[in-house]
């Protein structure tokens, strides 16, 4: 036995897999489990029985707010956040808890497989681009190729953290509401001096359905910019500014073509009208950092080339210009020294990431 693990699951809407997800957690081996389900507005929660604890905040707190609520109510020293459609294998929680016995590991992520395609990877940890874009790393690869190691970000589908570390980091930012919280938390974990690791043998099966809609794009884009604007040092932001401007212009054009331009503009408007929040958040993140951006950038990518289905790819010429700028100008302006070489090359810890 490696102690008590509190599994925190947020539920909203129909949640057809919730009962199965809870059962999978209860059947975990080599670990004592506490199961907390945060009812953000799901009729499926009415069918849950003891020993499951159901928290009812009375409103939809979003994924970030629900996770924080569950963490505050937890009695376990280790937290594992699990999506309401992700089924953990019996040893998954114990393996995550064991990895967190290493004091240097702050976040431990599971290797997430596609539930409807056994043996196919959904995410083995997520790459993060210098401009804050992130996607499901290793998507479509055989599970046999998964390897344990450091990643830029865990997948929010299933990851573990010591409860005290989660609280010390400030939990998830509730302004995000949904999307991008895993990237933000992972980057803050790196800056705190800890490591983010994904375990090949700790596995879960995710009923994954990739989709985009205007409201999702609003949150994804707004939250990405929150992360970028508050995570990096000022000198790094200045060096990144030409790439940021080019990306925003390109996304503005694309949002018009794809039907979510009002949401893109609304994200910019939100940032402009919440400058006080951004300033306070930036001061908090910078005040907690123990490492410089040079170390963080060792884990980030400059080559924006995710699988085609994620719709974030850049034409080859644009990718080449981006990499050339960062290797010859941007990295030096940011004062990142040797770290710029790896970031510029887009080197990742796992092939196909």
- Which tens digit of pLDDT belongs to each residue from 70-118? 999 999 999 999 999 999 999 999 999 999 999 999 999 999 999 999 8
> Terminal CA-to-CA distance of the chain, rounded, Å?
33
Specify the pTM: 0.94
302-340 residue pLDDT tens: 999 887 778 777 899 999 999 999 999 999 999 986 444
Instruction: Tell me if 350 is assigned to some domain.
Output: no
Q: Are 196 and 220 in a shared domain?
A: no
pLDDT tens digits along 127-147: 999 999 999 999 999 999 999
226 and 195 in a common domain: no
Q: Do residues 153 and 179 lie in contact, with contact meaning Cβ atoms separated by under 8 Å? A: no
Q: How many domains does the chain have?
A: 2
Domain boundary among 150, 177, 206: 206
Classify residue 351: in a domain, yes or no. Answer: no
The answer to the question of residue 196 being in a domain is yes
Does residue 91 sit within a domain? yes
Tell me the C-alpha distance between 119 and 87, whole Å: 14
Last residue of a domain, one of 189, 206, 223: 206
Question: Under DSSP, is residue 204 helix (H, G, I), strand (E, B) or coil?
Answer: strand
> Do 241 and 130 fall into the same domain?
no
Residue 331 lies in a domain: yes
Is there a single domain that holds both residue 151 and residue 247? no
Per-residue pLDDT at 337: 65
Whether residues 199 and 222 share a domain: the answer is no
Please give the residue range of the domain that contains residue 69. Answer: 4-206
Show which of 179, 206, 233 is a domain's final residue.
Answer: 206
Residue 352 placed within a domain: no
**For the chain, where are the E strands, in sequence order?**
4-11, 32-39, 53-55, 78-82, 86-88, 105-114, 121-123, 149-150, 158-162, 195-206
DSSP-H helix ranges across 124-233: 163-168, 181-191, 214-231
pLDDT at 352 over 50: no
Whole-angstrom distance, CA of residue 247 vs CA of residue 27:
46
Residue 194 resides in a domain: yes
Instruction: Evaluate if residue 348 carries a pLDDT over 60.
Output: no
**Is the domain of 81 the same as that of 193?**
yes
The per-residue pLDDT for 2 is: 54
* Strand pairing report for 105-114 and 158-162: antiparallel
Is 343:297 a contact under the CB 8 Å cutoff?
A: yes
Domain-located, residue 178 = yes
Q: Are residues 294 and 157 in the same domain?
A: no
Are 261 and 176 within one domain?
no
Supply 254's token pair.
């694309």
């Amino acid at each position: 036995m490696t102690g008590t693990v509190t599994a925190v699951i947020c539920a909203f809407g129909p949640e057809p897999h919730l009962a199965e997800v809870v059962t999978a957690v209860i059947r975990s081996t080599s670990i004592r489990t506490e199961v907390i389900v945060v009812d953000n507005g799901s009729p499926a929660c009415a069918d849950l029985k003891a020993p499951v604890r159901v928290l009812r905040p009375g409103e939809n707190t979003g994924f970030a707010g629900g996770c924080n609520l569950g963490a505050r109510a937890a009695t376990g020293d280790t937290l594992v956040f699990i999506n309401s459609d992700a089924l953990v294998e019996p040893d998954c929680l114990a393996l995550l808890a064991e990895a967190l016995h290493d004091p240097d590991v702050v976040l431990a992520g599971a290797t997430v497989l596609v539930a409807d395609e056994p043996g196919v990877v959904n995410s083995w940890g997520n790459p993060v681009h210098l401009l804050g874009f992130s996607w499901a790393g290793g998507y479509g690869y055989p599970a046999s190729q998964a390897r344990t190691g450091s990643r830029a970000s865990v997948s929010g589908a299933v990851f573990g953290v010591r409860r005290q570390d989660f609280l010390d980091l400030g939990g998830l930012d509730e302004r995000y509401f949904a999307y991008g919280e895993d990237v933000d938390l992972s980057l803050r974990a790196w800056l705190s001096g800890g490591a983010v690791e994904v375990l090949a043998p700790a596995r879960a099966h995710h009923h994954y359905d990739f989709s985009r809609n205007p409201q999702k794009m609003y949150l994804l884009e707004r939250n990405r910019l929150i992360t970028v604007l508050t995570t990096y040092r000022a000198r790094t932001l200045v060096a990144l500014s030409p790439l940021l401007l080019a990306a925003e212009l390109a996304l503005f054009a694309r949002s018009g073509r794809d039907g979510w331009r009002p949401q893109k503009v609304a994200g910019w408007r939100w940032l402009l009208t919440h400058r006080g929040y951004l300033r306070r958040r930036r001061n908090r993140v910078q005040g907690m950092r123990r490492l410089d951006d040079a170390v963080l950038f060792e884990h980030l990518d400059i080559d924006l080339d995710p699988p085609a289905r994620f719709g974030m790819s850049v034409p080859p010429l644009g990718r080449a210009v981006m990499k050339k700028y960062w290797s010859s100008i941007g990295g030096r302006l940011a004062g990142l020294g040797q770290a710029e070489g790896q970031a510029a090359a887009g080197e990742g810890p796992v092939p196909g990431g």
